Chains A and B, each alone.
Chain A
Amino acid sequence: MSTLLEINNATLKFGGVVAVNDLTFSVDEGEVYAIVGPNGAGKSTVFNLISRFYDPYAGAITFDGHNLLDRNADAVADLGIARTFQNIELFDHATVLQNLLVGRHRHRNTNLVQEMLFTPKVRREEKRHREAVEEVIDFLDLQPYRDKMIAGLPYGVRKVVELGRALASGPRLLLLDEPASGLSVEETQDMRWWIDDIRKQMGITVLMVEHDMGLVSGVSDRVLALADGAKLAEGTPQQVQSDPAVIEAYLGAGAA
C-alpha cells in the first residue's frame, strides 16, 4: 500500500499554547485511520491543518505528492480531500439536495456566462452532478429528506447529510471529525457500516477523529493516540487500547 497523506513534524502554536507538537504520521491509501485522545489533545486542530484553515508553525503536509502548504482551503478540496465538521457546518437555508450538490463544486467546469444562459453543456453537467449525488442519497438512505431544508432537520440526519456532502465530492481522502458524536446507538451502528462500505465499496481512504472507542476499534486499521498535541501511541486498535501511556492519559496516573 502506498502512502496517501503524510504529516511531518507539524507544530502549531496559538499564542503561547502549543496545540500540535512536532507531530508525524502518515495515512496509507485505502485504510481507515483514527485519531483518538482526550479533549483538547489537538485532534480537530490536525484536521484544520490538513484542510488549511490553520497555518502550521513548522513542518510539512503532503498529499499524494502535493505539498498542501502551497494551497488554500479550496485548492485542498480540489485535490480530493473532503471533510465533515465537529459542530456540523451545513448550508442551513438550502435543501439537502442543494447541500450535496455544493459538494460537487470541485467538478464544476462551466463558466459564469454559460450558467447564466443555461447552455446545453450546463444542463449536461447538471445531470452528471445529480447522478452522482443521487447515488450518495441512495447509499445513505437520505431519500425522505431530499428536498427538505437543513434548518428543520434533526441532529442525526444533519450528521448524515454532512457525510453525504463530503462523499458527493468524490474524494480520495475523507476526513471525519467525530462522526458519531451526538448520535444514538443505532445511528452510530449505521455510521459504522457506512464507514466500512465507504472504504470497501468506494475505495476511499478515511481519516477520522472519534471518541467512541467501540466505533474506532470496529472500523479502523490503525489508531493514533494524541495527548497535548503530541503522539502518545500508534498501532492497531488493540495495541493502542492496551498501551500504558494511553490508559494513563485517559484515566489519570496510577490507573495503569
Chain B
Amino acid sequence: MRIHFKTSYNHDIRLFPDRWSFLVYAILIVIAVVLPWVLDDFFLGEVTNVLIWAIAGLGLMLLTGQTGQASLGHAAFLALGCYSCIIFMEQGWPFLIAFPAAGILTGVVGTIIAIPAIRLHGIYLAIATIALSILADDIIVLMEPITDGVSGKFAPMITIFGIEIERWTTPDRFYWLVLAVTILCTLGYRNLLRSPLGRAFAAVRDSEVSASAMGVHIARTKAAAFGISCAITGLAGALMGFYAGAFNNETFSIVISITLLMMIVIGGLGSIHGAFFGAVVVAFLPQFLSMTKDFVGGGSVAIPGLETGVFGMILILFILFEPMGIYGRWMKIRIWFELFPFARKDMFKRQKSYLKTERLR
C-alpha cells in the first residue's frame, strides 16, 4: 500500500496524489491521442461514442453522484444542447462559438428549470424529470418551424480554423475533438471537486440540514449543480448530434434519459471513473450482444427489447451485489492487491441501516 507523506498543502490539493498515478494518467492520455493510428475507422467510431457517453455521464454524475439529485430527464438537455448548437451553426456561427454557446444555453435553461425542481425530493424529482423528458419530445415536434419536427435535422460540417471535421469523412479529427472536450470536462469536474463548491455539493447530498447550518445555501447550490450538469450534458448532446449525423425528436427519448442514469449507477455513483466505466458498458453492449448472437447462431434476426432487457439485468445485478458499481469493484480489487496477503473479506462488508421515514404521516 502506498502511503503519501504530505509536506505541504499543495500535496492535498493537487490533481494526482503521487507521481505514479500522474504517470498512469499521462500514459492513458498519450494512448488516447495516438489511437486513430492504431484502430480502424469502425472501432475509432465506437471509442468516440464511448467518450461522448462519458461526457454525458459526467454531466449527470455531477448532479446525481455528487449532489444526490437523481434526474431521469437528462435526455431533454442532450436534445437542447444538440438542437441549439446546430441551429446556431445554421445561423452562420462558427463551431467554436456555437458549441460553448449551446453548453451555456443548456446550463442556463437547466438552472431555470431547477428553481422549482429543487424543492422536490427523491422520487418527486425523478417523476418531474421524467415528465420533462417526455415533454421535450413533444415540444420538439410542436416547435417544428425551428426544429423541423419529426423529419429532423442534419448536422453540418464542423470547421475549426479552416480544418474540416466530420464524423464519417474524417473520423480521426472528430475523435480528437471529442477527446479534447472530454479532457476539458473531466478537468473542470475534478477542479470543482477540490474546491468549495464541490464540497458543498457533497454536503447537500449527505445532509441538507447540516449543510445549511454550515452556511451552504441549499437552493443556490442545487441550482448550480443543475446548471453545470446541464451545461456538460448539453455539450455531450451537441457531440451526439454530430456523431449521429441526423437526429429528430425521437433521438433523445426517455429511454436515453433512463439509460444515462443506469449507466452512471453501473459505473459507480459519485466517481469520475464511474462515468467512463459506465460509458464503456453502454457503448459496447450492442456490439457485444450482436457478436454473441452471431456466435450462438441467432443470425441477423432482431430481437426487440434485447438490449434494454440485458442492460436492465446487468443493472439489477450491480445494485444487488455491487452497489458501488464497476468503480467500487475496481477499488476493492486494487486494495486487495495492495494489501496482499492481508486483505480480509469482511473489510468491505456493508453496514446495514434501517429506514426511518422523513414523512410525518
**A residues neighboring B (CB under 8 Å):** 51, 53, 72-75, 77-78, 82-83, 85, 89-94, 97-98, 101-106, 108, 110, 112, 115-118, 122-123, 125-127, 129-131, 134, 151, 165, 169
The answer to whether B212 touches A73, judged by C-beta atoms less than 8 angstroms apart, is yes
The answer to whether B213 touches A115, judged by C-beta atoms less than 8 angstroms apart, is no
**Taking CB as reference atom, which chain B residue is nearest A92?**
B206
Is residue B116 within 8 Å, beta carbon to beta carbon, of the partner chain? no
Contacts of B351 in A (CB 8 A): 151
**Could you tell me the distance in whole angstroms from the C-beta of B344 to the nearest C-beta in chain A?**
14
Contacts of B228 in A (CB 8 A): 112, 116
Query: Could you tell me the dominant secondary structure of chain B's interface residues?
Result: helix
Stretch touching chain A among B33-41, B168-176, B192-200, B282-290: B192-200
Contacts of B188 in A (CB 8 A): 116-117
Complex CA gap A28/B202 in Å reads 35
The answer to whether A101 touches B192, judged by C-beta atoms less than 8 angstroms apart, is no
Complex CA gap A118/B194 in Å reads 9
**Could you tell me the distance in whole angstroms from the C-beta of A28 to the nearest C-beta in chain B?**
23
Complex CA gap A102/B194 in Å reads 11
**B residues neighboring A (CB under 8 Å):** 9-10, 12-13, 188, 191-192, 194-200, 202-203, 205-207, 209-218, 224, 228, 270, 351
Query: Out of B191, B197, B206, B215, which one reaches A78, CB within 8 Å?
Result: B215
Complex CA gap A98/B214 in Å reads 13
Contacts of B12 in A (CB 8 A): 97, 130
**Could you tell me the distance in whole angstroms from the C-beta of B361 to the nearest C-beta in chain A?**
12
**Could you tell me the distance in whole angstroms from the C-beta of A130 to the nearest C-beta in chain B?**
5
With A74-B216, A74-B218, A77-B213 as contacts: A90 and B191 at CB distance below 8 Å? no
**Could you tell me the distance in whole angstroms from the C-beta of B4 to the nearest C-beta in chain A?**
9
Contacts of B270 in A (CB 8 A): 93
The answer to whether B214 touches A103, judged by C-beta atoms less than 8 angstroms apart, is yes
The answer to whether A91 touches B209, judged by C-beta atoms less than 8 angstroms apart, is no
The answer to whether B224 touches A82, judged by C-beta atoms less than 8 angstroms apart, is no
**Taking CB as reference atom, which chain A residue is nearest B220?**
A74
The answer to whether B207 touches A117, judged by C-beta atoms less than 8 angstroms apart, is no
Complex CA gap A83/B40 in Å reads 60
The answer to whether A90 touches B206, judged by C-beta atoms less than 8 angstroms apart, is yes
Complex CA gap A191/B199 in Å reads 27
Other than the given A73-B212, A126-B195, 18 more pairs (CB < 8 A) read A72-B212, A83-B213, A89-B209, A91-B207, A94-B203, A102-B214, A104-B196, A105-B196, A105-B214, A106-B215, A115-B192, A116-B191, A117-B188, A122-B191, A127-B9, A129-B196, A130-B9, A165-B214
**Taking CB as reference atom, which chain A residue is nearest B15?**
A118
Contacts of B200 in A (CB 8 A): 102, 105
Give the one of A75, A91, A94, A102 with max B CB within 10 A. A102
Complex CA gap A34/B227 in Å reads 44
Contacts of A51 in B (CB 8 A): 213
The answer to whether B13 touches A127, judged by C-beta atoms less than 8 angstroms apart, is yes
**Taking CB as reference atom, which chain B residue is nearest A79?**
B215
Query: Out of A85, A94, A112, A117, which one reaches B209, CB within 8 Å?
Result: A85
**Could you tell me the distance in whole angstroms from the C-beta of B232 to the nearest C-beta in chain A?**
10
* Closest 3 A/B residue pairs (Cβ): A77-B215, A106-B215, A91-B206
Complex CA gap A122/B351 in Å reads 37
Query: Out of B10, B202, B212, which one reaches A94, CB within 8 Å?
Result: B202
**Taking CB as reference atom, which chain A residue is nearest B211?**
A102
Complex CA gap A73/B196 in Å reads 18
The answer to whether B199 touches A105, judged by C-beta atoms less than 8 angstroms apart, is yes
